[in-house]
Structure 1
């Protein structure tokens, strides 16, 4: 279905012809803009206005286009749902898209390990390859949608990834989206992600990456709209800014997203120090800035507005009006407002100009930044001239992409402990137990696309060793009263009445071409069950049309039970006429009939996932004795494989979860959920060896498990090929190479208050306690030995420092080793100096007996630090210990980390 008012390249000529008549009155500002752009010709091609001339620079084109807009039109472009301007040939554009670990929320896509899992690979080349695939799929999907004039949410080329905040506290639910707790590792992964997303073409960007959330932001989630964080200058430069600085210095990253919270008393998106002094002036960022969604509203939301229904929550109450908020944000350099359901805050800019709160030239600058970005993408150029536009839709979830996802999953797995039980023998019979053994959500985490080849751990193990060698039981809830084993209500229990009143298989479905079940259905048919994913709207065949549907029939259970139903979004379910919520229990008897009706109303507007269309009705029997089933499943097994941890229904962004250990997306403690801990101890008591695979986007305090279980694997959230990779690791098809990008603490009692943004006693760099598993930790199936460390005794601290060592695979299996280099300053000038710091790393793959020389050239800033005022310090006249090895010195053996002392001198 064609959307009203949308113009693309091929129906643009009429609009351009009318614009050409205006060119004479607009050439002066356009030519004036070009005077400063030496590479741009002075005159545009005469048949078209300058902004449509691809031979001009993106900056000149943007300046010309903006000069033709009214003030109201400019304001309409500063919203994530930018309006079409037909008279100028400008189609609507939705700036909001996500690509955290695959193109998200826009239908099928290859799903890679969650960002924290990618960080666990420590592999920059792999990160570049993954991001390249993501942007290939994003380009393909964008042109697929645009070919039918669909410019919808999650269909654009402006990706709001990567999240390069520092995972400073394991309680933060969104920490899974980051590259961990170390600024250097984060920066290196970010640089490669950005490079892969934006491509290497000299003229056109493949897509735009957005580094977020600038810059002092990492929870808590429930209070993020009103919190005010105060970071010291030392912490700012040692921890919160380095990854951003690295991205700006080493890439041409197109966009920055500013955060919800306030920093030093001002909302982040309206902070002069953060946004002007640091971002634009000192860090030299010249792209566009987008607010986090609702952050500009947070400027003026207060208790009174919230109570009156004029705001979704109370926030900073920093200014009084919408116009003041919009003006402040734009003056501080926020160019684009992501809304929050309360509309476009930038629509108040004309009023703000009238009030003298902002001048139109400042608004022009913001809109010019936005259109410079779109022109750099080739958005309004002939697709034949933009080679990225030739990316075929068939690349999406193609075999090479799925294979890369599998490889990334393998490298993301971290072997935390192994007493020799792994790898398992080929003939091992296993009991697969645990709430995450067959949990689809552990594959996709948050901000996910729709996988085409998802493989859970259970499925991967069955495929690996044969179903006859596997018994399975879910064993427990995942946490509290939350179940993870929901499956679609099967066709075997779904019926409807035929014309004679007899029950026949399937449910009656009716599909409508509107979202309110109005008029006659456009399609009626019998469906075997309710479990659908649509690429196109079932009632119209369109890519992004609103629709509604009903499914009606009866459920005839095969067993007695107390059932809990889990419908998909946008739906309402009734059983025997009673509305059933997700936590409602429905008692059912085998053989009895229960009328079921499910209604779906799909709205393609806020806050829906517009291009992601699905419907399902899942259920589980909560009356089963899960523990008894698990113990029974172990009886014929040689080894118990326990798949536990949490999933992204418990940890994530601003969620409604509130139960022991979890609050609003965050965690209140980091212990394994009680239901799982209890089951694990029962399984351990059987006397059979228990190997644990833990899924989580954050550190879990596996204290009892470390003491009592022979082997533990940390899986994070490994992507759609997780089950295949996990089975291969357990049976030794490859040697694990993942390393922790975060510290696994023993308890949050060892940490400061979550709201405290000082880095004292946080992360491996400053933590004074004893971790359960150290940052950088990870075991292999083969052995690597180090030798030949070369570190000079003295070194001019203003010059690059070269250090090297030789690493040898001294085992009998090929493997990858993550070589890590750390510095420890012996004469610390102040307490803010890190206790120890990662300064370099590399991944090397070696065959048995093979050696490689690893050399790191450490720039002066890598061996220096910052003083309390945030000034860089060259450590002249001090000593430091340099180490190269398999992990942090002190947490690996002397053979696995070589150390040497160096004295830094000055040039004099």
Structure 2
């Protein structure tokens, strides 16, 4: 399937959702399905169990125990479900729940999105003249590049404030299916921009913090009964699991069977989801389209009930990716199941809610024919209604009922969008310290993204409050000449090159804005190469050749691009990667270029050279090298070849030095008679220790790694530094990672000053390896703790020793 055709399908799907949303706007207000004499009055109430509302509907609220606040949420949900007929239950099991008029239960749309701001993708949200937009923050990949947990949580808080305000105004639900916490195995994936990159630890950190920001009600974060913990809004971690391919050549996500080892599943693909549930207390998990080792993810009872519900103790519900059951039946033909068979299996596996219509089409038949018990349906619905009780759908949450129009596109929210983008911007090159520029200089802006607006907000975005393009932002600061060079990212010809070259020839500084857009990388559209689209590279070369002053390259993209030609071109003095920077992108880029902000972002994915895509197919799921096929490893953890820029790379307008002081350099562990030494494979030239490793499940795992890092700003400019902490396993272990991120912290240091940062982390989690059978082990021997990268780092050796009889 060609890219243009896939993009057409993508556009049609968006138009379909948009049309659906518009057609159902009048039913989106909470009480709009109750028409009649009191309909207009009833819909003024923002929660179900309001006594006056029931009176307006001609119902006595005292007759409905599910509205009795003295009862537990579990009791109330059970009462509500017990009052429904089988057909009524079935009609509540999909994302457009119909409600039950005789019970005073209105319809509810579960599908809202809030990946980096309130999105209009999905029928649960709509914008209109009253609310024309919401704050559109940078795409997640750029916010991740800030490596700042506080920022991520703050983004979640602000997004949930706007979402709750829109709910109060009848234009959004309370259940947002965000964030996307899939680890990026291959950066050809079109949805890389939606994610936090290739490192499982970083993805987990982002997920936990963003979820906490979305969900947490201040003062209730640590209540004992998590099933009754109130939520500001409900968040969803998706797509579970091993999902990171959409449409690559002839491989399609709807039919793709991800053949994944237990080692990679545990170490990489499910790790962020476990943290999202256990540490973030997320209230929903979405299962993915793909099959995993022959079984559709949404039909796998081991992955759903066994792991998410029982092992991780999810307090919430499990939902399918949209129309995922249709995929199982019509695309995957799994076990040649009928609709009734498929819905029975997914419900039994633990799928509480379907985004789609197969439950309403066939679940009634499944129950009546004995394929699945009505008890399973009751269980699923109770999970859903306990969640809606927690989020205030039935009773409201007083602290948020005053939120309204003033809380959407508020000035501090727009400023946060600007701050988030500039924190994430990565400085890749700065020869002769050409940056920052001085305001007032004569500048030429060229390239397809020099006047970017919609391109800046990327995938799963809503309608922004106001776009600020680079051209607008730079024009307010400098004397700007603009020449497009290419009309759009496809840059299909050189028609406008001469105009761009003429403008650059007489400029003090030329800034070239290039990159991708949603026609090149997005949901439904994976990339086939790592090159700049069309003739963009040629535009850069020709403009740089004739420019009379320094040339600065600004790259907008959701993932890596091989720009080695620009990196190595002495005519190009500086390079910035700015991701998809959100509605305030122009201001954020200008803030960095003119030195209002000192860049401190780091790359969250490896920037491979272009020939990497020729070395292995995107459909190969292994992260480790596959020697017999000649496949290299994936991500910084397993790839040891040359790169354009490595994971974690990023420069500053200043320089930093580190010194590291550990609290201890050895961990001695006494084993009892029930703890067994495990074998670990070593290279032939490396002697294995007498006790190579111990299973983590057999250990208390209460040892900690503690150290201090003194960070000195040895330059002339204030700035922020990301302290990236890695652990390196003992040398000689076969098949394990090269290194892995175990912590990070962003710290601001004034010029000439020193700041001390303390780190404390669990030894088992930080030093573990996962063997080929999927067991988590703590190996003995000399581990290395390193802060920083190869060019600027401090490290020490930490010995793990087992004492046993």
Which TM-score tier does this pair reach, normalised by the shorter chain?
0.7 to 0.9
Highest CA radius of gyration, 1 or 2? 1
CA 1:754 to 1:50, structure 2 compared with 1: closer, same or farther past 3 Å? same
Root-mean-square deviation (CA), in Å? 1.9
The CA deviation at 1:874 is 1.2
Q: Give the aligned partner of residue 634 of structure 1.
A: 504
Is 1:101 aligned to residue 116 of structure 2?
yes
Provide the C-alpha distance between the structure 2 equivalents of 1:111 and 1:907, rounded to a whole number of angstroms: 55
Q: Give the aligned partner of residue 167 of structure 1.
A: 184
Structure 2 matches for 1:626-775, cutoff 5 A? Answer: 626-654=496-524, 665-688=525-548, 689-708=550-569, 709-747=572-610, 748-749=612-613, 751-760=615-624, 761-775=633-647
Give the secondary-structure state (helix, strand or coil) at the position aligned to 2:785.
strand
Give the secondary-structure state (helix, strand or coil) at the position aligned to 2:546.
coil
Provide the C-alpha distance between the structure 2 equivalents of 1:881 and 1:714, rounded to a whole number of angstroms: 31
Question: 1:597-651: CA deviations, max 9, x gaps?
Answer: xxxxxxxxxxxxxxxxxxxxxxxxx9x9311221122232011100001112321
The CA deviation at 1:315 is 3.4
Give the secondary-structure state (helix, strand or coil) at the position aligned to 2:176.
coil
Q: 2:54 aligns with which of 6, 9, 13?
A: 13
Provide the C-alpha distance between the structure 2 equivalents of 1:374 and 1:276, rounded to a whole number of angstroms: 21
Give the secondary-structure state (helix, strand or coil) at the position aligned to 1:667.
coil
Question: 1:287-327: CA deviations, max 9, x gaps?
Answer: 201100111111110xxxxxxxxxxxx33444431111111
Q: Give the aligned partner of residue 340 of structure 2.
A: 323
Q: 2:482 aligns with which of 472, 476, 495?
A: 472
Question: 1:782-833: CA deviations, max 9, x gaps?
Answer: 11111143263322364111122211111111111100111111245431x2
Is the CA contact 1:297–1:325 (under 8 Å) kept in the aligned structure 2?
Answer: no
CA 1:477 to 1:769, structure 2 compared with 1: closer, same or farther past 3 Å? farther
Is 1:360 aligned to residue 220 of structure 2?
no
Q: 2:761 aligns with which of 855, 858, 880?
A: 858
CA 1:828 to 1:17, structure 2 compared with 1: closer, same or farther past 3 Å? farther
CA 1:286 to 1:398, structure 2 compared with 1: closer, same or farther past 3 Å? closer
Q: Give the aligned partner of residue 36 of structure 1.
A: none
The CA deviation at 1:858 is 1.9
Q: 1:379 aligns with which of 378, 387, 393?
A: 393
Q: 1:116 aligns with which of 132, 137, 141?
A: 141
Q: Give the aligned partner of residue 161 of structure 2.
A: 136
Q: Unaligned 5+ residue runs, structure 2?
A: 1-25, 36-41, 121-125, 128-132, 221-228, 625-632, 670-700
Q: Unaligned 5+ residue runs, structure 1?
A: 21-46, 302-313, 483-621, 655-664
Is 1:180 aligned to residue 180 of structure 2?
no
Provide the C-alpha distance between the structure 1 equivalents of 2:144 and 2:668, rounded to a whole number of angstroms: 33
CA 1:402 to 1:270, structure 2 compared with 1: closer, same or farther past 3 Å? same
The CA deviation at 1:204 is 2.4
Is the CA contact 1:76–1:347 (under 8 Å) kept in the aligned structure 2?
Answer: no
Q: Give the aligned partner of residue 210 of structure 1.
A: 236
Q: Give the aligned partner of residue 682 of structure 2.
A: none
The CA deviation at 1:770 is 1.3
Is the CA contact 2:506–2:547 (under 8 Å) kept in the aligned structure 1?
Answer: no
Q: Give the aligned partner of residue 820 of structure 1.
A: 724
Provide the C-alpha distance between the structure 2 equivalents of 1:765 and 1:16, rounded to a whole number of angstroms: 61
Question: 1:746-791: CA deviations, max 9, x gaps?
Answer: 1233653200111110000011211111111100001111114326
Provide the C-alpha distance between the structure 1 equivalents of 2:134 and 2:714, rounded to a whole number of angstroms: 40
Is the CA contact 1:791–1:900 (under 8 Å) kept in the aligned structure 2?
Answer: no
The CA deviation at 1:261 is 0.3
Is the CA contact 2:491–2:535 (under 8 Å) kept in the aligned structure 1?
Answer: no
Is the CA contact 1:478–1:675 (under 8 Å) kept in the aligned structure 2?
Answer: no
Q: 1:454 aligns with which of 447, 456, 467?
A: 467
Give the secondary-structure state (helix, strand or coil) at the position aligned to 2:191.
helix
Structure 2 matches for 1:17-166, cutoff 5 A? Answer: 18=59, 47-105=62-120, 106-107=126-127, 108-145=133-170, 155-166=172-183
CA 1:55 to 1:850, structure 2 compared with 1: closer, same or farther past 3 Å? farther
Which TM-score applies when normalising by structure 1? 0.74
Q: Give the aligned partner of residue 5 of structure 2.
A: none
Give the secondary-structure state (helix, strand or coil) at the position aligned to 1:296.
helix
Q: Which moved more, 1:426-435 or 1:407-416?
A: 426-435
Is the CA contact 1:140–1:393 (under 8 Å) kept in the aligned structure 2?
Answer: yes
Q: 1:351 aligns with which of 365, 368, 391?
A: 365
Is the CA contact 1:829–1:867 (under 8 Å) kept in the aligned structure 2?
Answer: no
Give the secondary-structure state (helix, strand or coil) at the position aligned to 1:881.
strand
Is 1:401 aligned to residue 442 of structure 2?
no
Give the secondary-structure state (helix, strand or coil) at the position aligned to 2:608.
coil
The CA deviation at 1:464 is 1.9
Is the CA contact 1:299–1:318 (under 8 Å) kept in the aligned structure 2?
Answer: no
The CA deviation at 1:687 is 4.3
Is the CA contact 1:337–1:346 (under 8 Å) kept in the aligned structure 2?
Answer: no
CA 1:329 to 1:169, structure 2 compared with 1: closer, same or farther past 3 Å? same
Provide the C-alpha distance between the structure 1 equivalents of 2:137 and 2:614, rounded to a whole number of angstroms: 33
Provide the C-alpha distance between the structure 2 equivalents of 1:120 and 1:731, rounded to a whole number of angstroms: 20
Provide the C-alpha distance between the structure 1 equivalents of 2:230 and 2:490, rounded to a whole number of angstroms: 51
Structure 2 matches for 1:792-831, cutoff 5 A? Answer: 792-796=664-668, 798=701, 799-827=703-731, 829-831=733-735
Is the CA contact 1:319–1:325 (under 8 Å) kept in the aligned structure 2?
Answer: no
Q: Give the aligned partner of residue 694 of structure 2.
A: none
Provide the C-alpha distance between the structure 2 equivalents of 1:124 and 1:62, rounded to a whole number of angstroms: 35
Provide the C-alpha distance between the structure 1 equivalents of 2:663 and 2:540, rounded to a whole number of angstroms: 47
Give the secondary-structure state (helix, strand or coil) at the position aligned to 1:100.
coil
Question: 1:633-676: CA deviations, max 9, x gaps?
Answer: 2232011100001112321111xxxxxxxxxx110001112310
Question: 1:179-206: CA deviations, max 9, x gaps?
Answer: 1110111111111100110022535211
Which TM-score applies when normalising by structure 2? 0.84
Give the secondary-structure state (helix, strand or coil) at the position aligned to 1:882.
strand
Decide which structure has greater helix share: 2
Give the secondary-structure state (helix, strand or coil) at the position aligned to 1:188.
helix
Question: 1:172-229: CA deviations, max 9, x gaps?
Answer: 0011100111011111111110011002253521100100001111113360000111
CA 1:788 to 1:352, structure 2 compared with 1: closer, same or farther past 3 Å? closer
Provide the C-alpha distance between the structure 2 equivalents of 1:119 and 1:463, rounded to a whole number of angstroms: 29
Give the secondary-structure state (helix, strand or coil) at the position aligned to 1:710.
strand
Give the secondary-structure state (helix, strand or coil) at the position aligned to 1:208.
coil
Is the CA contact 1:288–1:370 (under 8 Å) kept in the aligned structure 2?
Answer: yes
Q: 2:246 aligns with which of 220, 231, 246?
A: 220
Provide the C-alpha distance between the structure 1 equivalents of 2:68 and 2:33, rounded to a whole number of angstroms: 26
Give the secondary-structure state (helix, strand or coil) at the position aligned to 2:324.
coil
CA 1:240 to 1:828, structure 2 compared with 1: closer, same or farther past 3 Å? farther
The CA deviation at 1:136 is 0.2
The CA deviation at 1:480 is 4.0
Q: Give the aligned partner of residue 487 of structure 1.
A: none
Give the secondary-structure state (helix, strand or coil) at the position aligned to 2:445.
strand
Is the CA contact 2:505–2:546 (under 8 Å) kept in the aligned structure 1?
Answer: no
Is the CA contact 1:440–1:456 (under 8 Å) kept in the aligned structure 2?
Answer: yes
Provide the C-alpha distance between the structure 2 equivalents of 1:907 and 1:404, rounded to a whole number of angstroms: 52
Is the CA contact 2:110–2:175 (under 8 Å) kept in the aligned structure 1?
Answer: yes
Is the CA contact 2:491–2:534 (under 8 Å) kept in the aligned structure 1?
Answer: no
Provide the C-alpha distance between the structure 1 equivalents of 2:616 and 2:664, rounded to a whole number of angstroms: 38
Provide the C-alpha distance between the structure 1 equivalents of 2:149 and 2:568, rounded to a whole number of angstroms: 34
Provide the C-alpha distance between the structure 1 equivalents of 2:750 and 2:535, rounded to a whole number of angstroms: 43
Provide the C-alpha distance between the structure 2 equivalents of 1:56 and 1:421, rounded to a whole number of angstroms: 66
Give the secondary-structure state (helix, strand or coil) at the position aligned to 1:779.
coil
Give the secondary-structure state (helix, strand or coil) at the position aligned to 2:568.
helix
Provide the C-alpha distance between the structure 2 equivalents of 1:19 and 1:214, rounded to a whole number of angstroms: 43
Provide the C-alpha distance between the structure 1 equivalents of 2:444 and 2:118, rounded to a whole number of angstroms: 35
Provide the C-alpha distance between the structure 2 equivalents of 1:407 and 1:456, rounded to a whole number of angstroms: 15
Give the secondary-structure state (helix, strand or coil) at the position aligned to 2:145.
helix
The CA deviation at 1:275 is 1.6
